[in-house]
């Protein structure tokens, strides 16, 4: 009877094992950047205490089978890992926050292809999405001057000079790019070239400090700055911001993106900035900047990208401080301009269509 009892108990347990095996839940998830909502490719997803795991694909998606109360561990280099206790989820978006310590950065500008930072024999720095968002810069010098060896001089109304490991000056030693493509034709004087950049559309900025002529030509004899535009986010996202300053400065920022389906996504970002003062100050300024982008994934190895950028810029030439004001360090007064003929007008239109295959 004793052995019969053990046999009966074992039979009951064995009879429920197939049901336990088939009672696992299926989870389809996405791992995204918390700040930009863009997919993280190659993120690691494991169930703690087991050998079960998966990695995200080119769209940041993964598929995994789990039991209730399993703990999911999600990690990605350069991001803070996260633990999630699973219940009855069938779909899950997992946002990861960038780590304060940047590890194994991927650089695009050094070779025009994605490449690990440690394999890049160049003095190159990156300004990421977190820094761009937290700085809330009204002009690009407030971002670029965070980089060692870079000094962008603000001449007012987004006009500037640039010094990258060079003395201050007005020389055209630097190349400015958007998604790896120069924003001006070869031979066009590139001083004040960043007027033609939409800072609101930048997801990341990469700065090459020093000569990059072997890759980008003679325009980059002193360095290069590459603005990488925002990609469509996996989930719908929209932001509208307004700013007012005490010196008649006004600005409106717009940022929106989404994926229509698993293949097609759109992103748009731009801003309008304006300063209107009395005629005698001769310091009026306005700028319209808009960037639009569409990404279409043909398959896992092939994608099509189309971008459009438009800049409309106007600025008067303002006057100088009075010498007494300068020596008294009194910058609160608005000096009367003695110049009535200086102004700068820019209308820039750029568009591209790129087919990428790996």
DSSP string, 281-317: G---EEEEEEEEEEEEE-SSSEEEEEEEEEEEEEEE-
Q: Judge whether 6 lies within some domain.
A: no
Strands 91-96 and 25-33 turn out to be parallel
Query: What average pLDDT does this structure show over 304-314?
Result: 96
Phi first, then psi: give them for residue 220, nearest 5 degrees.
-105, 35
- Same domain assignment for residues 307 and 245: yes
Domain count, the chain: 3
Residue 312's Cβ-side half-sphere holds a number of Cα atoms within 13 Å equal to 7
* Whether 123 and 171 share a structural domain: yes
113 and 223 fall within a common domain? yes
Task: Give residues with Cβ within 8 angstroms of 328, minimum separation 6.
Answer: none
We report the CATH number of the domain holding residue 124 as 2.170.130.10
At 20 the pLDDT is: 45
42 or 176: which carries more pLDDT confidence? 176
Length of the chain: 358
Q: How far apart are CA 191 and CA 205, in angstroms?
A: 19
Considering the domain architecture, whether residues 70 and 34 belong to the same structural domain is answered as: yes
On whether the CB atoms of residues 124 and 110 are closer than 8 A, the answer is yes
| Torsions phi, psi for 68 (to 5 deg) | -60, 140
Task: Mark whether 111 and 200 lie in a shared domain.
Answer: yes
Average predicted confidence (pLDDT) for the chain = 83
CATH of the domain at 54: 2.60.40.1120
H/E stretch holding 258 reads strand 249-259
Of 78, 96, 114, the residue that ends a domain is 96
Query: Residue 305 — very low, low, confident or very high, per pLDDT cuts 50/70/90?
Result: very high
What is the rounded average pLDDT of the residues 345-356? 94
Least trusted range by pLDDT, from 107-116, 134-143, 210-219, 349-358: 107-116
Q: What is the pLDDT of residue 335?
A: 54
User: Which residue segment(s) compose the domain that 76 sits in?
Assistant: 23-96
Q: How many CA atoms lie within 13 A of 267 on its CB side?
A: 24
Helices assigned H by DSSP within the chain? 2-22, 129-135, 141-144, 213-216, 323-327
Q: Which residue has the higher pLDDT, 35 or 154?
A: 154
Instruction: Give the global pTM.
Output: 0.74
Question: Who's near 5: CB < 8 A, 6+ residues apart?
Answer: none
Give yes or no: residues 332 and 254 share one domain: yes
pLDDT at position 103 is: 47
**Same domain, residue pair 225 and 261:** no
Residue 14 covered by a domain: no
Q: State the average pLDDT over residues 184-202.
A: 88
Edge to edge, the sheet with strand 264-275 lists: 237-244, 249-259, 264-275, 285-297, 302-316, 343-357
CA 234 to chain centre: 15
Q: Are 251 and 188 contained in the same domain?
A: no
Among 179, 205, 229, residue at a domain's last position? 229
Q: Is the pLDDT of residue 326 over 80?
A: no
Does 4 fall in a domain?
A: no
Radius of gyration of the chain (CA): 27
Same-domain check for residues 92 and 110? no
**Does the pLDDT at position 157 exceed 70?**
yes
Would you place residue 111 in the very low, low, confident or very high pLDDT band (cuts 50, 70, 90)? low
On whether both 89 and 114 belong to a single domain, the answer is no
For the stretch 59-103, pLDDT in tens is: 788 988 888 888 889 988 878 899 998 888 888 889 998 876 554
* pLDDT attached to residue 131: 87
């Amino acid at each position: 009877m004793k052995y019969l009892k053990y046999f009966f108990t074992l039979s009951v347990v064995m009879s429920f094992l197939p049901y336990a095996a088939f009672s696992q839940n299926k989870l389809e998830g996405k791992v995204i950047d918390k700040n930009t909502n863009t997919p993280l490719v190659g993120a690691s997803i494991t169930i703690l205490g087991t050998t079960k795991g998966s990695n995200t694909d080119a769209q940041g998606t993964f598929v995994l089978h789990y039991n209730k109360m399993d703990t999911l561990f999600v990690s990605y280099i350069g991001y803070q890992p996260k633990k999630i206790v699973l219940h009855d989820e069938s779909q899950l978006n997992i946002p990861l926050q960038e780590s304060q310590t940047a590890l194994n950065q991927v650089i695009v500008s050094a070779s025009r292809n994605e490449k690990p930072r440690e394999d890049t024999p160049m003095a190159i720095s990156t300004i990421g999405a977190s820094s761009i968002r937290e700085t809330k810069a009204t002009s690009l010098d407030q971002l670029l001057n965070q980089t060692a060896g870079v000094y962008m001089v603000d001449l007012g109304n987004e006009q500037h000079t640039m010094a990258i490991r060079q003395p201050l000056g007005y020389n055209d030693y630097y190349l400015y790019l958007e998604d790896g493509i120069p924003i001006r034709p070869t031979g066009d004087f590139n001083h004040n070239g960043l007027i033609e950049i939409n800072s609101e559309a930048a997801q990341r900025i990469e700065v090459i400090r020093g000569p990059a002529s072997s890759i980008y030509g003679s325009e980059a004899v002193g360095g290069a700055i590459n603005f990488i535009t925002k990609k469509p986010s996996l989930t719908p996202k929209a932001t509208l911001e307004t700013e007012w300053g005490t010196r008649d400065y006004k600005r409106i920022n717009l940022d929106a993106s989404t994926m229509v389906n698993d293949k097609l996504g759109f992103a748009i970002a731009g801003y309008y900035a304006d300063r209107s003062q009395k005629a005698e100050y001769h310091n009026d300024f306005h700028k319209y900047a808009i960037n639009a982008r569409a990404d279409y994934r043909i398959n896992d190895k092939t994608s099509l990208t189309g971008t459009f950028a438009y800049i409309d810029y106007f600025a008067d030439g303002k006057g100088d401080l009075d010498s007494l004001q300068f020596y008294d360090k009194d910058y609160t007064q608005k000096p009367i301009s003695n110049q009535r003929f200086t102004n700068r007008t820019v209308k820039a239109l750029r568009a591209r269509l790129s087919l990428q295959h790996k």
